[in-house]
Amino acid sequence: MKLAFIGLGNMGLPMVRNILRAGYAVTVYNRSPGRCDELKSERTVIAESAAIAVAGADIAITMLADDPAVESVVLGSGDAADEGGHGVIAGLNRGAVHLSMSTISPSLSRKLADAHRRAGQDYVSAPVFGRPEAAAAAKLWIVAAGSTESLARCQPLFQVLGQGAFVVGTDPWQANIVKLGGNFLIASMLEALGEAFALMKKAGVSPGQFLEVVNGSLFKSPLYENYGRIVVEEHFEPAGFQLRLGLKDARLVLGAADGLAVPMPLASLIHDHLLAALARGMGQRDWSAFTQVLAENAGLESQSP
Amino acid sequence: MKLAFIGLGNMGLPMVRNILRAGYAVTVYNRSPGRCDELKSERTVIAESAAIAVAGADIAITMLADDPAVESVVLGSGDAADEGGHGVIAGLNRGAVHLSMSTISPSLSRKLADAHRRAGQDYVSAPVFGRPEAAAAAKLWIVAAGSTESLARCQPLFQVLGQGAFVVGTDPWQANIVKLGGNFLIASMLEALGEAFALMKKAGVSPGQFLEVVNGSLFKSPLYENYGRIVVEEHFEPAGFQLRLGLKDARLVLGAADGLAVPMPLASLIHDHLLAALARGMGQRDWSAFTQVLAENAGLESQSP
Amino acid sequence: MKLAFIGLGNMGLPMVRNILRAGYAVTVYNRSPGRCDELKSERTVIAESAAIAVAGADIAITMLADDPAVESVVLGSGDAADEGGHGVIAGLNRGAVHLSMSTISPSLSRKLADAHRRAGQDYVSAPVFGRPEAAAAAKLWIVAAGSTESLARCQPLFQVLGQGAFVVGTDPWQANIVKLGGNFLIASMLEALGEAFALMKKAGVSPGQFLEVVNGSLFKSPLYENYGRIVVEEHFEPAGFQLRLGLKDARLVLGAADGLAVPMPLASLIHDHLLAALARGMGQRDWSAFTQVLAENAGLESQSP
Amino acid sequence: MKLAFIGLGNMGLPMVRNILRAGYAVTVYNRSPGRCDELKSERTVIAESAAIAVAGADIAITMLADDPAVESVVLGSGDAADEGGHGVIAGLNRGAVHLSMSTISPSLSRKLADAHRRAGQDYVSAPVFGRPEAAAAAKLWIVAAGSTESLARCQPLFQVLGQGAFVVGTDPWQANIVKLGGNFLIASMLEALGEAFALMKKAGVSPGQFLEVVNGSLFKSPLYENYGRIVVEEHFEPAGFQLRLGLKDARLVLGAADGLAVPMPLASLIHDHLLAALARGMGQRDWSAFTQVLAENAGLESQSP
């Protein structure tokens, strides 16, 4: 099986390494060429453009930062207009599969699926849950949607990259909405913890102890434990996931909800708090830092330097 | 150690049984006398009033439905004005402890602590997490606050009644605010799941599968699993915890937050949805049924009969 | 017609003066006796207690700060426990009318109506819109509810005190809910202006000019003009109506809405912003100062010293 | 002065008539050609494309439904890809002015200003407040922004079309944000009235009478009077301004606020209620119909057939 991989960021690079380790040959492309050097010593080909990278591939994987990056690389449009004709669609063979693993909007996912269909190619959407360390350890959780046949072709890759793959539908964009829904649930947990911690502080109860009580007796969840600790200790830097990116995801959730006519008042609330945090200069911190806005609205001063 | 126990409801009755099983003698009192009959065959004394029940006790435990019930039984005031002089405070010895395990407001807890102090008695607040089955299995989680000395005296009872006790402060009302904070976190989880499920339904993704993905990969929490199932299956009757009581707790959270000057917009949001559910006639269903309001606002019809 | 007037605050004092000016004799009572001195030179009797003041009166008017003050003066209960037997109900003749003009909760209004009924007295609720200057100029707007007969007896007083009286129902508490509804609409206007002004500032548009545009072309309302100016100029001191009192009214609205099962998410939003303003130390400023919280959440610094 | 006018909808048609009545010659273009027939008997030239219509004009006015329509007609891009080369920019002389009167997003306004600048043309943004009847009566309120020189050239047209023009800035997009801000204030008024009316209904107070009280004593605003009547009478059809268009404007406000990092929780709240109304099938009704969602959430049934 011939593979191409586009996007060698904090997630993409360790993913390519796992694919190489499993014995596959991979042609790679990255918009900033420097990143490719880290793979030079390994069994890879470095391509000059997305179109060249995917030429002849059975499966072309993309792992990029956001909608504009994916749109530009796949369609060759967008800001980088000079990539016209150099995109994934232009280079991919008929019958090949584009496996799109970025967290993008359902609407872009729909647009890409249409474009691939018209080009006689197939499109599978498979965003992931997990941070760079999970990518390195091949412990990602993969949420996939697409045609049964194409999903079957991608299955060996899912085993190489993650600890499990959930198939949630036959329309690729459904995987994107599940991914966004998962992020929304995490943000909701942060909002709830942030409000509860402010209440505890003003009641003279230690937020750390409150966390221990509720997670020990009720939630028993490692996610509550880990994120709860970050918020209790105001350990927002270095960021595990930057607030400005969390805000981007909040926009994608609200955009999808708007398109499907689903009021999501809690998502609106979270968006507004993320935006307030951005306005106060917290864009580079971990996204859980928006809980500071809740503390400040309760008249509490931050303990962090 | 001589014990009194007041309040033989769905929680109190199994708790008394565990205390008896541990070898303690208990004098009991219940406002509706019928409930006491269930204990007749066991080693108990049934008292005619709260004051008589607690006379001579080292520790008097109360487990009642809400603020008015507790206020009436302890102070002999409130609706049941004829209990004047027949309340816990009137009957308890100087130096004895009132162990208050009901979910009540921090402000009532404060008031009771003051009243006991004036009477030369001590007051420990120790509300619990857990439903009647957990009470029967001695698997309650106990959240306690009070003086170190009194807490030490209550410790053997905590071991008989629960699987763990968290001490969260020396002011009794702090335990009540932790309990309310825990309920708030559960309600927040329900709000988040309700919004996400509506989004998934309109995207053609099965809410059950979405739950499996996010709990399998992210939260790994039995509480998400159990409550998520109830909401997915719209299994709101019989109620594990009635919506009208969940609304009462939401009011207590907001009241406490108001008193401490902590804005809790998510708590306000939940309150408004619980209130909308009540207005639509769902007061007797499980409190997670407020997620129906979210579904209806998205134009979704309920599947439940 | 023999009159009594209780409560000589910023509103009550000018109201009594207007009543005297119209030729009525009035017996007055104020909890802080000093205030009565301001009326000494005029044709008034100063009473030692509320009960004495209202003895023999045809109509007893009360104009006090809040629920506890009214409850204490009328029932002789509450904080001032020593007023037992000295309250309005104890002193008023059978068949006389208590004209209650304070902004109180509908639930207290109901309680007072019941108590007066049991005492063979009648109760009219007639809260007002207007500040001290409007009271002095006899330009109050009066919102009244009660029995047709009692309202007819109060009508001459309404003409002396205000520029108009609206009868909104036969149950006295209905007047209180209309008054609270009016305050809620004003607060809603402030919330909307505060958000819009923050948007304009960050867009480089002068909020003052924006106000001119929208009020000149759309609203044409003196209230938008006046309050809009205060917010644009950040002229929050001296307070026309203190924020801590505005917060009290927001609580009363939410309490009434809760009791009637009416979700009011905008009222919740306003409450949370007022509470955030209080937590930041703005309790003594004009209540429109909560718009500062909105500005700060947008990363804007206050211009006021 | 040679004029072109593009967009002969419910607003554009009466505007053109007023321009003709003032003695100007106008070349018109409409995407659906039928609309032009209504002007045939008058002194107008009907053009085959936007580019032809604006050729040689001193000022080209556009009055279209939404962002995509304006983008397509001006840039010749968008859905109507075949208009490439036939757009306003392609046809307009260097030094001429495009006077854009549609309600569009600030971001599109910015994009158009840039495009015109590059083409050596000028761009004035001048959206209006007012409905078709106001357009016919030349009673529009015009909100304008642009270079001082171009605004001066447009001034005679403002006098022909409206009862007043407010200049709010030198960047054209500032006029668009003021227009959106105005619509946001109207929607906020509707949200507030909707919540208050639900409260009054459940308190047994007539919403119509409540409106009379608060507008008579507090707001004294014809807008509160007119919209208040529509909501009280549930007179949502025929729509003065369709809910689906109101929702579009709510999205534009939130989009602009997001771009400027201004949290607008009330705008989010309104958006969610408009969206719930859309999901329940009210898209074609007057936008004030979203108040029905508020009533239903309070358990109230609609009175309308």
Encode pLDDT of D164-214 as tens digits. 999 999 999 999 999 999 999 999 999 999 999 999 999 999 999 999 999
Mean pLDDT check: name the lowest of A51-65, A263-277, C82-96, C97-111: C82-96
pLDDT of residue A146: 97
Confidence label for D35 from pLDDT (cuts 50, 70 and 90):
confident
pLDDT of residue D56: 93
The 10s digit of each residue's pLDDT in D215-260 is: 999 999 999 999 999 999 999 999 989 999 999 999 999 999 999 9
Query: For residue D140, which amino acid is it?
Result: L
pLDDT of residue C93: 96
Query: For residue D108, which amino acid is it?
Result: L
Residues of chain C with CATH 3.40.50.720: 3-170
CATH of A3-126 among 1.10.10.10, 3.30.70.2190, 3.40.50.1240, 3.40.50.720: 3.40.50.720
CA distance A69 to chain C (A): 28
Most A-contacting residue of B139, B217, B249 (CB-CB within 10 A), to test interface: B217
Q: Tokens 């959930």 label which residue?
A: A166
Check if A298 contacts C (Cβ < 8 Å).
yes
> Are B195 and A222 an interchain contact pair (Cβ–Cβ within 8 Å)?
no
- Chain C's closest residue to B258, CA to CA, is C275
Give the bridge partners for A129, in sequence order: A141
Q: Tokens 């053109």 label which residue?
A: D16
Contact call for residues B51 and B91 (beta carbons, < 8 A):
yes
pLDDT of residue D32: 84
Computed over every residue of chain C, the mean pLDDT equals 93
Q: Is residue A4 scored above 80 in pLDDT? A: yes
Q: What are phi and psi of B81, to 5 degrees?
A: -60, -25
Mean pLDDT check: name the lowest of B197-201, C37-41, D155-159: C37-41
Residue C111 CA to residue C97 CA, distance in Å, equals 15
pLDDT of residue B79: 42
- Cβ contacts of A278 on chain D, cutoff 8 Å: 261
CATH H superfamily, domain C3-170: NAD(P)-binding Rossmann-like Domain (3.40.50.720)
- Active-site choice (D139, D179, D201, D202): D179
Stretch C139-148: mean pLDDT: 97
Option in A181, A192, A209 nearest B199 (CB): A181
Q: Is residue C83 scored above 70 in pLDDT? A: no
> Are A188 and B185 an interchain contact pair (Cβ–Cβ within 8 Å)?
no
CATH topology of domain D178-297: N-(1-d-carboxylethyl)-l-norvaline Dehydrogenase; domain 2 (1.10.1040)
Confirm whether A179 is a catalytic residue.
Answer: yes
> Are A264 and D272 an interchain contact pair (Cβ–Cβ within 8 Å)?
yes
Option in A276, A281, A298 nearest C297 (CB): A276
CA distance C117 to chain D (A): 21
Contact call for residues D273 and D294 (beta carbons, < 8 A):
yes
pLDDT of residue C44: 85
> Are A203 and B263 an interchain contact pair (Cβ–Cβ within 8 Å)?
no
Option in C265, C279, C298 nearest A297 (CB): C279
Q: Is residue B154 scored above 70 in pLDDT? A: yes
> Are D166 and C216 an interchain contact pair (Cβ–Cβ within 8 Å)?
yes
> Are D181 and C210 an interchain contact pair (Cβ–Cβ within 8 Å)?
yes
- Cβ contacts of C272 on chain B, cutoff 8 Å: 263-265, 268
pLDDT of residue D302: 66
CATH topology of domain B3-127: Rossmann fold (3.40.50)
Confidence label for C302 from pLDDT (cuts 50, 70 and 90):
low
Mean pLDDT check: name the lowest of A277-281, B59-63, B299-303, C298-302: B299-303
- Which range in A47-51, B84-88, D227-231 is most confidently predicted, on average pLDDT? D227-231
- Cβ contacts of D265 on chain A, cutoff 8 Å: 268-269, 272
CA distance C126 to chain B (A): 28
Residues of chain D with CATH 1.10.1040.10: 178-297
pLDDT of residue C35: 77
Q: Is residue D81 scored above 70 in pLDDT? A: no
Stretch B168-180: mean pLDDT: 97
Option in C261, C265, C271 nearest B279 (CB): C261
- Chain D's closest residue to C257, CA to CA, is D199
Give me the interface pTM, i.e. the ipTM. 0.94
Stretch C109-124: mean pLDDT: 97
pLDDT of residue A40: 72
Check if A178 contacts B (Cβ < 8 Å).
yes
Residues of chain A with CATH 3.40.50.720: 3-126
The 10s digit of each residue's pLDDT in B228-239 is: 999 999 999 999
Q: Is residue C171 scored above 50 in pLDDT? A: yes
Contact call for residues A259 and C281 (beta carbons, < 8 A):
no
Most D-contacting residue of A272, A293, A296, A297 (CB-CB within 10 A), to test interface: A272
CA C68 to chain centroid: 14
Residue C116 CA to residue C111 CA, distance in Å, equals 9
- Cβ contacts of C273 on chain B, cutoff 8 Å: 263
Computed over every residue of chain D, the mean pLDDT equals 93
CA distance D265 to chain A (A): 7
Q: List residues of B with catalytic annotation.
A: 179
CA distance A191 to chain C (A): 15
Which residues between 192 and 211 in chain B have a beta carbon less than 8 angstroms from any beta carbon of chain A? 192-193, 195-196, 198-200, 202-206, 209-210
Q: Is residue A201 scored above 60 in pLDDT? A: yes
CA distance D292 to chain B (A): 11
- Cβ contacts of A264 on chain D, cutoff 8 Å: 272
CA D284 to chain centroid: 17
Residue B75 CA to residue B83 CA, distance in Å, equals 8
CA distance D188 to chain A (A): 16
Across A145-166, b (16+ Cβ under 10 Å) vs e yields bbbeebbebbeebbebbbeebb
- Chain A's closest residue to D267, CA to CA, is A268
pLDDT of residue C62: 98
Residues of chain B with CATH 3.40.50.720: 3-127
Which residues between 230 and 289 in chain B have a beta carbon less than 8 angstroms from any beta carbon of chain C? 251, 257-258, 261-265, 268-269, 271-273, 275-276, 278-279
Residue B302 CA to residue D173 CA, distance in Å, equals 45
Q: List residues of C with catalytic annotation.
A: 179
Q: What are phi and psi of A201, to 5 degrees?
A: -55, -45
Q: Is residue C37 scored above 80 in pLDDT? A: no
Q: Helices A222-232 and A207-214, interaxial angle, to 10°?
A: 180
> Are C298 and A279 an interchain contact pair (Cβ–Cβ within 8 Å)?
yes
The 10s digit of each residue's pLDDT in A70-124 is: 999 999 854 444 445 779 999 999 999 999 999 999 999 999 999 999 999 999 9
Q: Which of B11, B199, B7, B10 lies closest to B27 in space, CA to CA?
A: B7
pLDDT of residue C26: 95
Q: Helices B265-279 and A172-202, interaxial angle, to 10°?
A: 110
